[in-house]
Amino acid sequence: MNTIVRPGLDELVTDIDRIAARRMPLRETAFAVADLLRAGLPGLDILTEEEREGSPDGYVSKPLYCQDDFSIVSVVWRPGQGTIIHDHVSWCAFGILSGIEYETLYRDMGDHLVEIGRAANMPGEVSGFAPPGDIHKVQNTSSEIGVSLHVYGADVAKLGSSVRRVYDLPVRA
């Protein structure tokens, strides 16, 4: 899937491509792409009305553009839907279009996880992160359907997902 599949993504793809081509450290790349999203986060109209409905079976992650260096993915969450605890294959920058993505961050202590932070990401907010230190779970805690745009530093069409590993360790204080 190496073509632009959405109207309105042309400029964003070009700008992300320029950042990715600089081959900066992962964290710097994530923050640079987050800055780019902050300056011009697309609106909900990047998805069709049907795509914005999500699924009663769980959150829906849909690649909108993929190439070797990065992918742009929409994530649609109905109220209460969320992920399991996981980390990622590479850097990520994301922006919230609707809903509230409540994120809980963890540190891997070997035989257990420790919660190290929480954030309620609101519409219009943008953030970025990179491994290591990207262990988290996310849940839509709002009463409306949540939509977010994620940019991953990998080709999720080839990999099938941006998730590197899921964690089934106990969480201790």
- Average of pLDDT values for 66-73? 94
Query: How many helices and strands (H and E) does the chain possess?
Result: 3, 11
The contacts of residue 124 (CB under 8 Å, 6+ apart) are 41, 95, 96
pLDDT at residue 128 is higher than 80 = yes
Mean per-residue pLDDT over the chain, rounded: 92
Domains in the chain, CATH or no CATH each? 10-172 (2.60.120.10)
Beta bridge partners of 67: none
Read off the pLDDT band of 3 (50, 70, 90): low
Percent above pLDDT 90 for the chain = 82
Q: What is the pLDDT of residues 15-64, one digit of tens each?
A: 999 999 999 999 999 999 999 999 999 999 999 999 999 999 999 999 99
First CA to last CA across the chain, in angstroms? Answer: 43
Contact 59, 82 (CB under 8 A): yes
C-alpha count within 13 angstroms, C-beta hemisphere, residue 36: 23
Judge if pTM exceeds 0.75: yes
Query: Computed over its alpha carbons, how large is the radius of gyration of the chain?
Result: 15
Read off the pLDDT band of 70 (50, 70, 90): very high
